[in-house]
């Protein structure tokens, strides 16, 4: 009779160690209480999906991975805290660069990662593989004695020597959707300072984990470059669901089925959709394109194809409109200057400036715009902030300076003025230059769509001021040069 020698069987501790080494999902599950002793793990199939795709990056099956998912779904725990310790159970020589929009956020993730590695649980299982070096053991950077390094940066502060894997986690502040300037700055910073910081450019390993905030955010930027995209919307949308290169497909069947009801219940989702529809569409559904705009809609602008200078020759009326900065805080707001023309019942934006300008800079800008557009005889300038001083300085030099509003009249609120001219957009009477030919048009559209929550509302102020003024001018027939052709309209 053969007797089973129990001493040959692995212990439960050894089994746990082996399973955690093989699976990032299991590693996260069993290590959860170490960093979250009072907060139970809210598990779900989405954690398995994220883990499998991160593992595929490590194993080389995916080189560039984009993961988009709602906030508070443990994406950073897996990608920014647990990923490095798990990889180091396989090969502690791997180096990582982590980048987040905030240095504080990057630091927090780094500290938690190091705390997990230094825990008695981790040391019991894998302490024999490597040890953290004492000469490089800081909040934002630590290394081990097998040449493995984990560095962390805020977006814009990447000065390290490179890494085997780059992980970008939440590259945008969620408030950045109101600022085309900040969105573009993040894209430019990533392209110039992060994307190519790999030790081996011929075998890239990149991960980006985020919630979508805008059609022009970094997620869309890399998706257009062909990155593998694991998209996990809070509500299932079968029309947008696609299988990944691993053959993984969203397991949900019914439209609207929730991703993780224990994290976001049906009632929470309903409330979020009703109270914050734009934010829900972007951050939960990963579909910011549904954000049409609060007052001025993105899809209601019309465009003309001719060069704006040539287009100006068709106009029966042209004018400048200026919204100036505050007198004492020139850097807290922008100066917006626009040239509008009218032909028949349609209005055409011909030129636009939006800059931080001092009083002296604003005066110079009005002079330059006047030289460039001599037929824009009316120069309508808001009669407050630096605008009053600009009028007084230039009134004997430049003709047609008109304080706005007219003396004795009260202006509506910014929002009231925007609604008063919005029917012109709704009716298809507002034209912009072709965005493919004029670079500032997309930024202008974004600021208008984001109003009244935009970082700067000066574009909208100049727009409403121009349209309200030009509406008061009696209409005349269009110049003969226009003819009957409308080939330059879209």
Could you tell me the CA-to-CA distances from 223 to 212, 285, 332 in Å, in that order?
Answer: 12, 16, 34
- This prediction has a pTM of 0.72
Distance separating alpha carbons of residues 490 and 486, to the nearest angstrom = 9
What the block records as the tokens of 27 is: 């590693």
Distance separating alpha carbons of residues 281 and 394, to the nearest angstrom = 48
Mean pLDDT score of the chain: 90
Q: pLDDT tens-digit profile of 173-205?
A: 998 887 888 899 999 999 999 999 999 999 999
- Is the pLDDT at 311 greater than 60? The verdict is yes
Q: What is the pLDDT of residue 43?
A: 95
% of the chain exceeding 90 in pLDDT = 72
Distance separating alpha carbons of residues 82 and 119, to the nearest angstrom = 13
- Mean pLDDT of the region 144-148: 96
Question: At 408, is the secondary structure helix, strand, or coil?
Answer: coil
- Mean pLDDT of the region 47-55: 98
Which run of H or of E encompasses 97? strand 96-100
- Mean pLDDT of the region 396-420: 89
Using the CB atoms, write b or e for 275-303: b if 16+ within 10 Å: eeebbbbbbbbbbbeebebbbbbeeebeb
Q: Angle 151-156-157 (CA atoms, 0-180°, nearest 5)?
A: 40
Distance separating alpha carbons of residues 401 and 198, to the nearest angstrom = 56
- Mean pLDDT of the region 144-169: 90
Q: What is the dihedral of CA 210, 213, 216, 222, to 10 degrees?
A: 10
Q: What is the pLDDT of residue 481?
A: 41
In this structure, are strands 132-137 and 64-69 parallel, antiparallel, or unpaired? Answer: unpaired
Question: At 419, is the secondary structure helix, strand, or coil?
Answer: helix
Question: At 10, is the secondary structure helix, strand, or coil?
Answer: coil
- Is the pLDDT at 6 greater than 70? The verdict is no
- Is the pLDDT at 53 greater than 70? The verdict is yes
pLDDT band at 483 (very low <50, low <70, confident <90, very high): very low
CB 233 within 8 A of CB 287: yes
By CB atoms closer than 10 A (0-12, 13-18, 19+), residue 230 is buried
Name the DSSP letter for residue 204.
Answer: -
Q: For residue 110, give every residue at least 6 positions away whose Cβ sits within 8 Å of its Cβ, in sequence order, or none.
A: 98, 139, 140, 141, 142, 150, 152
pLDDT band at 479 (very low <50, low <70, confident <90, very high): very low
- Mean pLDDT of the region 365-384: 95
What the block records as the tokens of 444 is: 């202008």
Q: pLDDT tens-digit profile of 327-361?
A: 655 455 789 999 999 999 999 999 999 998 989 99
Q: What is the pLDDT of residue 476?
A: 52
Q: Strands, E, within 405-490: which ranges?
A: 430-433
* CATH 2.60.120.10 matches 13-34+43-290: no
Q: Which residue has the higher pLDDT, 11 or 414?
A: 414
Instruction: Cis check for the bond before 405: say yes or no (omega within 30 of 0).
Output: yes
pLDDT band at 2 (very low <50, low <70, confident <90, very high): low
Would you kindly state where each structural domain of the chain is located, as residue ranges? 13-34+43-290, 298-482
pLDDT band at 405 (very low <50, low <70, confident <90, very high): confident
- Mean pLDDT of the region 138-143: 89
Distance separating alpha carbons of residues 372 and 139, to the nearest angstrom = 54
Q: What is the pLDDT of residue 292?
A: 72
Q: What is the pLDDT of residue 453?
A: 75
Q: What is the pLDDT of residue 382?
A: 92
Number of H helices, E strands in the chain: 17, 15
Which run of H or of E encompasses 390? helix 386-394
Q: What is the pLDDT of residue 302?
A: 97
Q: pLDDT tens-digit profile of 72-105?
A: 999 999 999 999 999 999 999 999 999 999 999 9
- Is the pLDDT at 454 greater than 80? The verdict is no
CB 426 within 8 A of CB 303: no
Q: Which residue has the higher pLDDT, 356 or 53?
A: 53
In this structure, are strands 302-304 and 317-323 parallel, antiparallel, or unpaired? Answer: unpaired
pLDDT band at 115 (very low <50, low <70, confident <90, very high): very high
**Residue 433: which of 318, 335, 325, 341 has the closest Cα?**
341
% of the chain exceeding 70 in pLDDT = 92
Distance separating alpha carbons of residues 400 and 59, to the nearest angstrom = 69
Q: What is the pLDDT of residue 7?
A: 61
Q: What is the pLDDT of residue 98?
A: 96
- Is the pLDDT at 363 greater than 60? The verdict is yes
Cβ-based neighbour number of residue 243 at 10 Å: 9
- Is the pLDDT at 69 greater than 50? The verdict is yes
Q: pLDDT tens-digit profile of 117-127?
A: 999 999 999 99
Q: Which CATH class is domain 298-482?
A: alpha beta
Give the range among 6-10, 54-58, 346-350 with minimum mean pLDDT.
6-10
**Residue 214: which of 472, 490, 449, 383 has the closest Cα?**
449
**Residue 341: which of 363, 362, 317 has the closest Cα?**
317
CB 93 within 8 A of CB 131: no
Distance separating alpha carbons of residues 329 and 289, to the nearest angstrom = 34
- Mean pLDDT of the region 123-148: 90
What single string gives the DSSP state of each residue in 316-385?
SEEEEEEEPPPSS-TTTS-EEEEEEEEETTEEEEEEEEEE---HHHHHHHHHHHHHH-TT--EEEEESST
- Is the pLDDT at 4 greater than 70? The verdict is no
Q: What is the pLDDT of residue 5?
A: 59
Question: At 184, is the secondary structure helix, strand, or coil?
Answer: helix
Q: What is the pLDDT of residue 8?
A: 64
């Amino acid at each position: 009779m053969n007797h089973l020698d129990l001493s040959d069987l692995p212990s439960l501790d050894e089994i746990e160690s082996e399973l955690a080494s093989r699976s990032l999902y299991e590693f996260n599950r069993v290590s959860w209480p170490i960093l979250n002793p009072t907060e139970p793990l809210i598990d779900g199939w989405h954690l398995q999906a994220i883990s499998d795709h991160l593992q595929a990056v490590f194993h080389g099956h995916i080189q560039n991975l984009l993961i988009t998912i709602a906030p508070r779904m443990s994406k950073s725990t897996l990608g920014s805290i647990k990923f490095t310790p798990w990889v180091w159970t396989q090969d502690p020589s791997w180096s990582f660069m982590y980048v987040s929009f905030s240095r504080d956020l990057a630091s927090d993730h780094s500290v938690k990662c190091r705390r997990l590695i230094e825990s008695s649980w981790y040391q019991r299982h894998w302490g024999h593989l490597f040890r953290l070096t004492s000469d490089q053991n800081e909040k934002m950077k630590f290394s081990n004695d097998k040449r493995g390094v984990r560095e962390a940066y805020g977006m814009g502060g990447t000065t390290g020597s490179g890494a085997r894997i780059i992980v970008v986690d939440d590259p945008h502040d969620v408030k950045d959707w109101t600022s085309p300037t900040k969105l573009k700055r993040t894209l430019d910073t990533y392209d110039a300072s992060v994307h190519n910081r790999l030790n081996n450019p011929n075998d890239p390993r990149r991960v980006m984990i985020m919630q979508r905030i805008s059609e022009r955010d970094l997620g869309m930027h890399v998706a257009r470059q062909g990155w593998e995209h694991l998209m996990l919307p809070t509500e299932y949308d079968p029309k947008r669901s696609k299988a990944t290169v691993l053959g993984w497909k969203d397991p949900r069947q019914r439209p609207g089925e929730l991703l993780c009801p224990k994290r976001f219940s049906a009632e929470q989702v309903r409330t979020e959709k009703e109270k914050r529809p734009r934010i829900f569409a972007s951050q939960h559904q990963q579909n910011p394109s549904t954000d049409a705009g609060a007052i001025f809609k993105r899809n209601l602008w019309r465009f003309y194809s001719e060069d704006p200078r040539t287009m100006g020759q068709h106009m029966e009326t042209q004018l400048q409109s200026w919204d100036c900065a505050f007198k004492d805080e020139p850097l807290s707001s922008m100066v917006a200057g626009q040239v509008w023309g009218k032909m028949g019942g349609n209005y055409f934006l011909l030129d636009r400036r939006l800059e931080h300008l001092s009083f002296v800079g604003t005066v110079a800008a009005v002079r330059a715009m006047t030289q460039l557009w001599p037929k824009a005889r009316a120069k309508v300038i808001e009669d407050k902030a630096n605008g009053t001083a600009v009028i007084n300085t230039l009134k004997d030099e430049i003709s047609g300076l008109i304080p706005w509003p007219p003396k004795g009249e009260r202006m509506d609120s910014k929002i009231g003025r925007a609604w008063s001219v919005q029917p012109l957009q709704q009716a298809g009477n507002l034209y912009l230059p072709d965005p493919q030919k004029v670079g500032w048009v997309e930024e202008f559209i974004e600021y208008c769509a984001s109003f009244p929550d935009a970082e700067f509302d000066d574009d909208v102020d100049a727009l409403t001021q121009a349209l309200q003024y030009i509406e008061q001018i009696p209409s005349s027939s269009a110049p003969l040069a226009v003819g009957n052709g409308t080939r330059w309209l879209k």
